[in-house]
Amino acid sequence: MAETTTIPAKPKNEKRLLDRSITTREVIFLLAVVFCLSPLITPPIALLMGLVIAQFIGHPYLHLNHKATHILLQVSVVGLGFGMNVTSAMKAGKEGIVFTIVSITGTLIMGFLMGKFLKIEKKTSYLISAGTAICGGSAIAAISPVIKAEEKQISVALGTIFILNSVALFLFPVIGQALNLSQTQFGLWCAIAIHDTSSVVGAASKYGTQALEVATTVKLARALWIIPVAFLSTLIFKNKEGRIKIPYFIGLFVLAMIVNTYVPFVQQYSHYLTGIAKAGLTLTLFLIGCGLSRKLLQSVGFKPLIQGVVLWVIISAAALWAVTSLAH
């Protein structure tokens, strides 16, 4: 009797991977990703492309979007550190510290009063205020578990902040040029008045190299305020068990600056590293735009958006007055 040879069956996962057909939506999305990594696309255009895909095509990997933007933003910010000098960064941080303390305290107080006046749910109002006061989505992500916020409350706060971030990225460079702001003034203004680090860097990089250095340094120094505000949140909402997420990547950013300043070998390649970092930030903004789905935008609601807009306009106007009147 002749022996029959049996071909071993492919593992289920392998078969699924090889037989899978790529959709048109995925092709468009992946081509846009490649396009964003090229020098042809500016941060505002990348964000606009993402918004178009979110509204008309749909993000094929939406479930991975939040984690991807979070990691990509942190890696890119650390990469920007290789293009900065410790001395000038310390000077920028020193100039921004008074503005930072006053603006964070003022925004949280105004946010509390507005939330009461508009009768917005307490945790939603607090998250919008914290996101406006410190660093947008990062602050919301850090404070949400501390105050035991529900998914709906987090979505409303994030939606509000991301909508205003998108507007700021286009609007701020135009206003800066119209008012003839210096690089330092614009960098300070961006760091104080724009919510998310990604949009701060996107707007400042469009304005100039010095503006980018000032804005990134001041914004990251501002991001450290997540820690005391999170501790304060545990007292306000009486949740002693809440775990606080510390933004450790800021330490890596400082380390990258130190290495770039004092290690001549690294300085030879720093422009390559910062070029990659800027491309990464452009891609981050594209992914943020892709995440602004119709569902997220509709979840925001009228009153939370009013709170976000009013707080943002007040902090932007006050910061603009401060940098033009007081900063040199």
Rounded average pLDDT per 10-residue block, the chain, 328 residues: 52 52 88 90 88 90 87 87 81 72 90 93 93 87 85 86 90 95 93 90 91 89 84 80 70 88 86 89 89 80 92 94 77
Q: How many structural domains is the chain composed of?
A: 1
Using CB atoms within 10 A of its CB, is residue 77 exposed (0-12), middle (13-18) or buried (19+)? Answer: buried
Assigned domain for 207 exists: yes
Q: How many residues does the chain have?
A: 328
Give residue 17's pLDDT.
Answer: 47
Whether 5 maps to a domain, the answer reads no
Determine the pLDDT at residue 222. 84
| Cα–Cα distance, 136 to 138 (Å, whole number) | 6
pLDDT attached to residue 67: 87
The answer to the question of residue 19 being in a domain is no
Q: Which pTM does this prediction carry? A: 0.79
What's the Cα-to-Cα distance from 210 to each of 40, 43, 79, 117, 129, rounded to whole Å?
22, 17, 16, 41, 29
Residue 17 belongs to a domain:
no
Please list the helix, strand and coil fractions of the chain in percent, rounded to the nearest 5, in that order. 80, 0, 20
Q: Please count the CA atoms within 13 angstroms of the CA of 174 that sit on its side-chain side.
A: 6
Backbone angles phi, psi at 104, to 5 degrees: -65, -50
Assess if residue 16 is contained within a domain: no
In a domain, 21, yes or no: no
pLDDT at 228: 86
Amino acid at 328: H
Containing structural domain, residue 88: 42-54+62-326
In a domain, 10, yes or no: no
Give the pLDDT confidence score for residue 269 in this predicted structure.
Answer: 86
Residue 298 in domain: yes
